[in-house]
Structure 1
Amino acid sequence: MVGTEHKLGSPLVLFELLAIRPCLVMLISLTLCHLILFSWGTLVTSHAPCPKPQDISPCTCSYSEESQEVNVDCSGAITSQSILDAFSNAYWPSIQLTKFRLSENDKVLTLPDGVFGNITFQRIHAYQTKMRTINATTFKSSRSRLQSLNIWNSRLEDFPFAILPELTQLKILDLHGNALETVPALESESLQELYLYDNQIVTFQGKLTIPNLKSLNIGGNPISKLPSDFFEDLENLEVFWCPSCKLGPILTSRTFQFHSPVLREVGLFFNTISRLEPRAITGLTMNTSVELWSNQIDSLEEKSFRPMLKELSKGNGYISLFGNPTRCDCSVAWLISSPDLLKSVKDAYCLDGTAFTDFDVTLFKRCRLCEHECVDPKQASLCSPGTTTPSRPHDCRPEESCCKPKIPKENPPKCGSKRNVHSSGAANTSMDQTPFNFDEWPWQVAIYSVNEQSIICGGALIREKWVLTSAGCLNKFQDPRILFVRLEKLHSNESRDDQSMEPMKVSKIILHDDFNAENYDSNVALLKLRKRAELSQRVQLVCLPSEPWVNLKEGTRGWVVNWRLNGTTEEMVVSKCHQDTAHPITRATSDKVFCSTNNSKNSDSGLLFFHFDK
């Protein structure tokens, strides 16, 4: 009431205060209620899913309201038992937690059986620890929730890989930087990323049956060989890395047989690889990048690199060769002279620093570049459809074309006609060392190098245009034009032979795809002659086994012709292969190698073992 003075004791003032008091009481009550609720809400946000801190010490538990993650950190634990006690003795409001962490800890040496009780995690991360073992049941409680398992830069010597099929949600397994030496065959339907790099792994005992694996890194391990079926079930693999392994000096045939249509990257750098055998890497896609930089590759053999580049040139794929001591000689002429293939080679330089893309191709005018055969116009009808390419000035003759001739169907000619007739002047000695005779060994040929003008190895005529010999003899030769063969040859000494014998030029060298230069597995090669040999009494064909899998029994007797012993023959006996660690051939024999014994201390390259069926 305006202008009216109210005193404290007046009825009006008392009435007004009483009228106002309920509002004040209600306001104060509401405020207290909000404060209490706010305080309790803060308590729930910070600690509701976690036990009391004192109940789980030395571990800690934290909760983020924003991400709704509940994380446990036991990095302060001094024993495995203290971690087990934290999970078994405390009351956990929730058993579905997010992440377990153990880092920079040198006290805990293992995660024992049942360490987490019934608590489950989505991620378990342990790094920079001294853990040596993991129990197979450690992750049992989390088998249906665990998505990421990382134990790295520790001292893990063993891991229970057998549990992987039970971890049905596991997508990432990172065990890098440990001390693992052997990895068994692995199985997992869920795993997408596997990191095993920087361990001490020397052996993978079987293939990886992990159909959804996208990324695999096994680099930094002393691995020299992988199982032949290693990649067979990795049908969704995108990235494979094996840098700084022990794959060199020779990457043997079928080392990497990929089976993934989405393969993007293959990392093989820092492996001291000097040579790739044909089909050493197969299954590339047109968009795969092959990182071969910082190796020791000095020659890009066409048989090894052309099939890869042919596929890569269809898309954006490439082979990186930076830091390799590559010789720019005839061995790379096929590549530098092929722009379509060269575009799929990245960072390739000659020894003098010249980039492949800047190299003067006219310097290769004396190099042979036709990957098949040079055919004159009169024989053009013999070319297989789709294989003919125009001649180039520095390749076939101008009037010729390069093509793959058709293989005519014909009945095999008569073979194996060995006669016991001695030519004049040949002494008939014991079978131990019998002087070579045209009529006795009419299929034997001598193989020469144009540069050396001497016999480099022996061979046998198996068809009018084909000579069988050893891959070990021809391994260093790439250009067939530097080789020739002689038929009807009798003596190692050229002056004692019939000078009318013309040398037969070679048009093609074919090494067995599985030839291994270290242990001489599949030590077989073919030479194709430019002209057909004219069969006569002195020139015959040797017979090949009629069955594809013929194994000679121990004790089988046969003969070889040894040019180093002046063309003499030596009787040899098939024997067991003794493991001799000092000799590379007998150190690692297989079902593709048999051994024989004789008395000679001088053996020729390309010796062929002749056995007569009765």
Structure 2
Amino acid sequence: MWEILYVSFLTLSFQGLLAYGQTCPLADDIAPCRCTRDAEAEKLDLDCSNVLDTWQFERIFQARFPSTAFRELKMTGTEDHRIPVVYLADNVFGNLSFTSVVIKYTNISHVGEKTFESSHDTLEKLTVSHSELKVFPATNLPYFSKLSVLDLSHNKMVFLQDVHSHSLQSLNVEYNQQLAFSDSLLAWVPSLLDMTMAYCGIEHIPPGLFSTAEILSNVNMEGNKLTHLDSAALAFASNDVLEIILSDNQISGADKDFMSGTSASVNLVMMNNKLEELPEAVWRPILQYAKDEHGAGFVTLDGNPFSCGCKFSWLVTSPDLLHYVARGAACDDGSLIHDLNPEYFLDHCH
């Protein structure tokens, strides 16, 4: 009886040792990658920032890994010293899974469709930025059931496939400077909160682009090549939108009803564009909505070359609406719109 109990104890102890002690692979087997263990959280992290080439990177993941579940994979170079890995092949990580993958400043131009297949049920954050990425297999996103953050910024993508994800909350593709996409890019992202498409060379916002993103609250499209906002260009699905940034474009005009479905406290930031006037039919509904709903947001128009003639009379003589224009907006002669004399407009503009 005691012998049976003793053997059982040894078996359980050995299993516990395997579960607790044999976590990271042998250091020499995965060098120059480094495996570390967070003893408090009992999580493993893997840093491969010192790999020398794609072949070495692939060889490392052919080693024996006692544990296959990792919290983070990190591979980050610097702007001056990029990691010379050029692609991530299908199944390169074998059966290893990750919760977070952060890859920055590399020469990676391609990610295989099955590269992160073993992380379908675990991956929450994926960053592949400041690299040479031309193609990303967005058609696989529906398989990642927990993915909430996707950062593909500062790459060389020329087309972004339609994004299908029930879990994605943040999408960043800024600084892909010749990026194209379809009108249905965001048709299946019910959880998306933040969308950043700054400095992507975008010339046009398709009407209704954002109208199916049910809870979207922040949109950043600054630094593009937008010249005009068509009707429904900024049409949203709910009243959750809090900030829209369109600064540093070339916008000279907008259609009536170009914006709808936002929070009454939305901040519409259109600094440094080409607006010369604010037609009443276009802009009164936006400012009136903020006033009627007692909103806390502003329209920020600093840096536009406004010609403050009588076409501004409707705004200058309506201080309750002018209140919702940020104070930095100025005429082309440098006069702040907020400092213009409404009496002059009442006397001279009819």
Question: Same fold by TM (over 0.5)?
Answer: yes
How far off its partner does 1:58 sit? Answer: 2.3
- Structure 1 partner of 2:329: 348
How far off its partner does 1:185 sit? Answer: 1.8
Does the 8 Å CA contact 2:308/2:331 hold for their aligned counterparts?
yes
Between the two proteins, the alignment pairs up a number of residues equal to 324
How far off its partner does 1:140 sit? Answer: 0.4
- Supply the distance in 1 between the matched residues of 2:261 and 2:226 (Cα, whole angstroms): 19
Q: Is 1:56 matched with 2:30? A: yes
Secondary structure in 2 matching 1:264? strand
Q: 1:123 aligns with which of 97, 100, 105?
A: 100
How far off its partner does 1:329 sit? Answer: 1.1
Secondary structure in 2 matching 1:100? strand
- Supply the distance in 1 between the matched residues of 2:341 and 2:235 (Cα, whole angstroms): 35
How far off its partner does 1:184 sit? Answer: 2.2
- Structure 1 partner of 2:309: 329
- Structure 1 partner of 2:8: none
- Supply the distance in 2 between the matched residues of 1:232 and 1:181 (Cα, whole angstroms): 24
Structural mapping, 1:310-329, within 5 Å: 310-313=288-291, 314=293, 315-329=295-309
- Structure 2 partner of 1:376: none
- Structure 1 partner of 2:57: 83
Secondary structure in 2 matching 1:165? helix
- Supply the distance in 2 between the matched residues of 1:230 and 1:277 (Cα, whole angstroms): 16
Q: Deviations over 1:246-305 (max 9, x none)?
A: 101x32333222223110000000002122222222222201000011112111111111
Structural mapping, 1:160-239, within 5 Å: 160-207=137-184, 208=186, 209-239=188-218
Q: Is 1:279 matched with 2:257? A: yes
Secondary structure in 1 matching 2:150? strand
Does the 8 Å CA contact 1:133/1:157 hold for their aligned counterparts?
yes
Q: 1:256 aligns with which of 228, 231, 234?
A: 234
Which one-letter code corresponds to 1:127 in the other structure? K
Does the 8 Å CA contact 2:235/2:261 hold for their aligned counterparts?
yes
- Supply the distance in 2 between the matched residues of 1:115 and 1:160 (Cα, whole angstroms): 15
Structural mapping, 1:128-527, within 5 Å: 128-207=105-184, 208=186, 209-248=188-227, 250-313=228-291, 314=293, 315-346=295-326, 347-364=328-345, 365-368=347-350
- Structure 1 partner of 2:69: 96
- Supply the distance in 2 between the matched residues of 1:254 and 1:233 (Cα, whole angstroms): 12
Q: Deviations over 1:515-574 (max 9, x none)?
A: xxxxxxxxxxxxxxxxxxxxxxxxxxxxxxxxxxxxxxxxxxxxxxxxxxxxxxxxxxxx
Does the 8 Å CA contact 2:208/2:233 hold for their aligned counterparts?
no
- Supply the distance in 2 between the matched residues of 1:206 and 1:163 (Cα, whole angstroms): 19
Deviates more, 1:211-220 or 1:224-233: 224-233
Secondary structure in 2 matching 1:357? helix
- Cα 1:339–1:231 change in 2 (3 A) is same
Does the 8 Å CA contact 2:208/2:236 hold for their aligned counterparts?
no
Does the 8 Å CA contact 1:174/1:195 hold for their aligned counterparts?
yes
Q: Deviations over 1:443-465 (max 9, x none)?
A: xxxxxxxxxxxxxxxxxxxxxxx
- Structure 1 partner of 2:90: 113
Q: Deviations over 1:43-68 (max 9, x none)?
A: x98x7420110111221111121343
Q: Deviations over 1:192-221 (max 9, x none)?
A: 000000002442113211011000000101
Does the 8 Å CA contact 1:183/1:201 hold for their aligned counterparts?
no
Which one-letter code corresponds to 2:98 in the other structure? F
Secondary structure in 2 matching 1:89? coil
| Identity within the alignment, % | 30
- Supply the distance in 2 between the matched residues of 1:200 and 1:136 (Cα, whole angstroms): 23
- Supply the distance in 2 between the matched residues of 1:202 and 1:147 (Cα, whole angstroms): 25
How far off its partner does 1:320 sit? Answer: 0.3
Does the 8 Å CA contact 2:208/2:234 hold for their aligned counterparts?
no
Larger Rg over CA atoms: 1
Q: What is the RMSD of the two structures over their aligned residues, measured on CA atoms?
A: 1.9
Q: Deviations over 1:350-395 (max 9, x none)?
A: 2233222221111112324xxxxxxxxxxxxxxxxxxxxxxxxxxx
- Supply the distance in 1 between the matched residues of 2:197 and 2:152 (Cα, whole angstroms): 10
- Give the TM-score normalised by the residue count of structure 2: 0.88
- Structure 2 partner of 1:510: none
Structure 1 runs not aligned, ≥5 long: 1-40, 369-614
Q: Is 1:68 matched with 2:42? A: yes
Secondary structure in 2 matching 1:259? coil
- Supply the distance in 1 between the matched residues of 2:181 and 2:259 (Cα, whole angstroms): 18
- Structure 2 partner of 1:10: none
Structure 2 runs not aligned, ≥5 long: 1-16
Structure having greater relative contact order (Cα 8 Å, sep ≥ 6): 2
How far off its partner does 1:84 sit? Answer: 2.7
- Supply the distance in 1 between the matched residues of 2:119 and 2:37 (Cα, whole angstroms): 19
Q: Deviations over 1:420-443 (max 9, x none)?
A: xxxxxxxxxxxxxxxxxxxxxxxx
Secondary structure in 2 matching 1:187? coil
- Cα 1:78–1:99 change in 2 (3 A) is same
- Give the TM-score normalised by the residue count of structure 1: 0.51
Secondary structure in 1 matching 2:62? helix
